[in-house]
A = this chain, B = another copy of it.
Amino acid sequence: MQRTAAEPGRDLGALSSSGESASARPAACEHGCRFFMDEACAHKSDMDKVGVTVKFARNETIYSKGDEAHYSYKMIEGAVRLSRIFADGRRQIVNFYLPDETFGIELSGEYTSTAEAVGDVVTLRCPRLCIAQLTAGNPDISQKRLAMLSKNLAAAERHVAMLGHQSAKERVASFFLALEMQRRTESEGMLDLPLSRQDIADYLGLTIETTCRALSELKRQKIIDAPSRRRIVIRDLAGLQAIAEGDV
């Protein structure tokens, strides 16, 4: 139930910080959210056209499972984790979102998972009703929304496949491989990930210890390197792929 209210310097979206009255402000759509659905224009040059920027601090809750789903978000900077907590206290991270990706699109009225900022995060935020309005009049946006959901579904299915029958080492390898594929802009093989070991473990469905051991094993094989806590260097991409695919 934590609303992301205003700690100093956190909510800089003038429009959005004024509360939940999104439906009363179609203006936000006209000059901002139109761009929200466009995968192609996430970057600074367009950001001034998009009024609804919201920041979150490390580990801050963006929304909780069960909250009314007033907003959808598009990542500008940082990383967000979607997770569910279970009765036994364990946490399953369902997905991570990186810049340019969209999360928080719910068709039922409630969020089905909890979203938290992994590190410091900048997002574009758009009221649900605003999107609905845009979607109704614009098949193009409707199409994009569909594409995003579809992409998320594909990711979830890959996740299922991984959890279904990869060993700890294979999972860790697959995980880094996926990150590497995604962030091709970075300097070769260098992953600068804000995730803790616990985050990784919770995504992979492993304990932190097992994750660590798998990592150490990969280091021993000179396939990756971990020069600092939050940095991974892939030294042998082919080797990593081989492991991810089960060729020991």
Enumerate chain A interface residues (CB-CB to B < 8 A).
84, 86-88, 90, 92, 94, 105-108, 112-113, 135-136, 139, 142, 145-147, 149-154, 156-157, 159-161, 163-165, 202, 205, 245-247
- B107:A160 contact, CB within 8 angstroms: no
**Interface of chain A, helix or strand or loop or mixed?**
helix
- A84:B161 contact, CB within 8 angstroms: yes
**B-side contacts of A108, CB under 8 Å:** 150
A42 → B minimal CB distance (Å):
20
A86 → B minimal CB distance (Å):
7
- B157:A94 contact, CB within 8 angstroms: yes
Nearest B-chain residue to A156, judged by Cβ: B156
CB contact between A205 and one of B84, B163, B245 (< 8 Å): that residue: B163
- A92:B161 contact, CB within 8 angstroms: yes
- A135:B139 contact, CB within 8 angstroms: yes
List 20 A–B pairs whose Cβ atoms lie within 8 Å, in order of A's numbering. A84-B157, A86-B161, A87-B246, A87-B247, A92-B164, A106-B150, A107-B150, A107-B151, A112-B157, A135-B142, A136-B139, A139-B139, A142-B142, A149-B149, A149-B150, A149-B153, A156-B157, A163-B164, A164-B202, A165-B205
- A164:B205 contact, CB within 8 angstroms: yes
Bound CA span A194–B86, Å: 31
A161 → B minimal CB distance (Å):
5
